């Protein structure tokens, strides 16, 4: 019988994977300290995950990073999200009308994860957020999800230079049939390029798109 409070091997492995998602290229000693596990335990978990292609070891440094197998599994999961296929044409249309990068993100625990984008074709870009995780209160997308649980309308949340210097993010929610927010759709723009009149246009297009996707769900 498992002791109360003791973690299973699966839980330890998942903790290790989460750690490598947040901080890539870590050695056994570093992982041992972060996870609070002895080195032998960490090494055994890594060896198992490496066989399955979940992690990979840099033979020169001995450090570990997430492997292609995990990235493939994540990609399959994202592509099979029921709302993503319906959201894609709306996002593409929004990108084409605004000429700015459009992102879709989903909540995970106390974080927001950016899973899909339609990137601008302009020469001045913002750094890609695909696959990145932020505290839910750190970005406009996360704030929209949090506010959308109580506020049943469609609204705009705004983040200026908060999550990323010189970047403005405008976001609204995507709601499932029950009315609960399941994702955020956002536009990311270099702050120096965003004029007041342009911002109002982006907000109206974003609200229209969020409502349009939600009606399809």
Read off the pLDDT of residues 111-144 as tens digits, 9 standing for 90 and up. Answer: 898 989 999 988 777 888 888 889 999 999 999 9
CATH classification code of 9-69: 1.10.10.10
Is the per-residue pLDDT at 5 higher than 80?
no
CATH 3.30.450.40-classified regions of the chain: 81-215
Read off the pLDDT of residues 151-188 as tens digits, 9 standing for 90 and up. Answer: 888 999 999 988 889 999 999 999 998 899 999 999 99
Q: Rounded to whole angstroms, how far apart are CA atoms 34 and 73?
A: 25
pTM of the predicted model over 0.85: no
Is the separation of the CB atoms in 137 and 166 below 8 Å?
no
CATH classification code of 81-215: 3.30.450.40
CATH 1.10.10.10-classified regions of the chain: 9-69
Is the separation of the CB atoms in 10 and 2 below 8 Å?
no
């Amino acid at each position: 019988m498992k002791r109360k409070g003791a973690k299973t091997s699966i839980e330890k492995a998942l903790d290790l994977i989460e750690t490598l998602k947040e901080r890539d290229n870590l050695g056994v000693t570093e992982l041992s300290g972060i996870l609070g596990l002895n080195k032998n335990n960490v090494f055994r978990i890594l060896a198992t995950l490496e066989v399955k292609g979940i992690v990979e070891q840099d033979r020169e440094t001995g450090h570990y990073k997430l492997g292609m197998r995990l990235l493939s599994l994540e990609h399959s999961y994202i592509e099979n999200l029921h709302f993503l296929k319906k959201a894609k044409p709306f996002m593409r249309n929004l990108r084409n009308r605004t000429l700015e990068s459009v992102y879709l993100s989903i909540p995970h625990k106390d974080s927001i994860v950016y899973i899909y984008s339609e990137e601008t074709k302009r020469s001045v870009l913002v750094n890609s957020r695909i696959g990145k995780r932020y505290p839910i209160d750190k970005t406009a997308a996360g704030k929209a999800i949090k506010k959308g649980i109580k506020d049943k309308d469609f609204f705009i949340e705004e983040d200026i230079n908060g999550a990323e210097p010189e970047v403005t993010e405008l976001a609204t929610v995507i709601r499932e049939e029950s009315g609960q927010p399941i994702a955020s759709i956002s536009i990311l723009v270099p702050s120096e390029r965003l004029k007041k009149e342009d911002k109002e246009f982006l907000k109206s297009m974003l609200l229209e798109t969020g409502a349009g996707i939600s009606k399809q769900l």
